[in-house]
Amino acid sequence: MRNLSSGLIRLSEVRHIMFVISFATYMILLSCVSIQELVGPMDAESRQEHDELEQRMKHEREEMDSVVMLHRTEMYIKLREERASLGRALKGGT
pLDDT score of 37: 62
- Measured CA to CA, the distance from residue 80 to residue 65 in angstroms comes to 22
Chain segment 6-61, per-residue pLDDT in tens = 555 566 677 777 778 877 877 777 776 656 665 666 778 888 888 898 898 888 88
The phi and psi torsions of 35 (rounded to 5 degrees) equal -65, -40
Summarised one tens digit per residue, pLDDT across range 68-84 is: 888 889 889 999 999 99
Which pLDDT score is estimated for 9? Answer: 58
* Overall pTM > 0.75: no
| Residue-level pLDDT at 2 | 44
- CA atoms of 59 and 73, how far apart (whole Å): 21
Q: For the chain, what are the domain ranges?
A: 2-93
